[in-house]
């Protein structure tokens, strides 16, 4: 039996960062992106899916994909690394 979840606001405000999923927080860091929060959540989601969309403040929606060399962020036909440390 599945329990229904209560409705949640699509956008939350977390330390000045508007994000769609409060479980995963990604920010721009020069010529790359940095994962600030949600390491395990991201790994679990990407185990079941090829990619996930995450809202990055000032950037909009970006797609995170898992590759053989780690995670990359794809936006506007560009692929930049996603640092997890």
Encoded tokens for 3: 């329990």
Residue 6 included in any domain = no
Residue-wise pLDDT tens digits, 21-71: 567 889 999 999 999 998 998 888 888 888 888 888 888 889 999 998 899
Residue 7 included in any domain = no
Residue 18 included in any domain = no
Residue 8 included in any domain = no
Residue 66 included in any domain = yes
Residue-wise pLDDT tens digits, 59-81: 888 999 999 889 999 988 889 99
Residue 15 included in any domain = no
pTM for the predicted model, two decimal places: 0.70
Residue 34 included in any domain = yes
Domain, as residue range, for 37:
23-83
Residue 32 included in any domain = yes
Give the H/E segment covering residue 65: strand 60-67
Q: What is the DSSP letter of 21?
A: -
Domain count along the chain: 1
12, pLDDT greater than 50: no
């Amino acid at each position: 039996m599945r329990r229904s979840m209560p409705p949640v606001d699509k956008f939350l405000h977390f330390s000045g960062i508007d994000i769609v999923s409060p479980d995963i927080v990604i920010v721009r860091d020069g010529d790359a992106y940095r994962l600030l929060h949600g390491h395990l959540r991201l790994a679990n989601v990407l185990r079941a899916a090829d990619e996930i969309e995450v809202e990055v403040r000032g950037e909009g929606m970006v797609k995170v994909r898992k590759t053989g060399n780690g995670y990359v962020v794809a936006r506007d036909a560009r692929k930049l690394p996603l640092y997890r440390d």
